[in-house]
Copies of this chain bind each other. A is one copy, B any other.
Amino acid sequence: MESFSDDQLLQEIKSCEDLLTDRIADNMETFGVSSTVGRLLGIIYMNREAMTLDSLADETGMSKTRMSQVMRQMISLNIAEKEYVKGSRKDHYNVERDYAQTFISLFTSNWSEVIKRNMSLERRLREQIRHLETYLSEDASEEVKVRMERLQQELDEWNTYYNWINNLVAFFESGEIFNHVPIVTPNKKEEA
């Protein structure tokens, strides 16, 4: 049986890693971020140590400006951070290595934003309804009364929902989720 040369093997390994990186990027897209975010995450993850904008640009073939934009986004999403490397002027970026933690960060970032907007709307609508009710004369048509009632009800339902999401986010963020959906490592020692 003939052997491959080291170079050939390394190239094959690299191509496997690239496939894995693509999968990571695909996974990221589900969080509604650009696939480039996922690609950089994958690249840095595989690299196993912090990378500079230049090395990222080099690896992806994209402009350094874009690398800068994406890394900033990743930092604001809490899935990457700058790492000080002595003797180098360049910024070095590293990523969260725990996939489940990354999942939770993104899930939390996304939904917290939604919840915040919902809360501010709810206050506004409750106010508005109270205001309308004071202007509601006794001889208002049946339709108006019914619609008013419905609106109130819709608002309650919506409120119930996003309170649920709010609790859901806490359930993830606190790590309680892991008590009920544990992380199971395949071959090594398993968590009881």
Contact = CB atoms under 8 A, between A and B. Distances in A.
Interface of A: 1-4, 6, 9-10, 12-13, 16-17, 19-20, 23-24, 26-27, 29-32, 45-46, 48, 99-100, 103, 110-111, 113-114, 117-118, 121, 124-125, 128-129, 132, 134-137, 140-141, 143-144, 147-148, 150-151, 154-165, 167-168, 171, 176-177, 180-181, 183-187
A59 B10 CA distance: 59
Interface SS of chain A: helix
A156 B188 CA distance: 10
A46 B154 contact: yes
B150 A48 contact: yes
A135 B1 contact: yes
Nearest to A3: B137
A179 to B, nearest CB: 9
Contact of A135 (B3, B155, B158, B177): B3
22 contacts: A3-B137, A4-B132, A10-B144, A12-B132, A17-B154, A19-B121, A19-B125, A20-B125, A20-B155, A23-B118, A24-B158, A27-B114, A27-B118, A30-B110, A31-B32, A32-B32, A99-B164, A100-B161, A156-B187, A160-B184, A163-B186, A180-B180
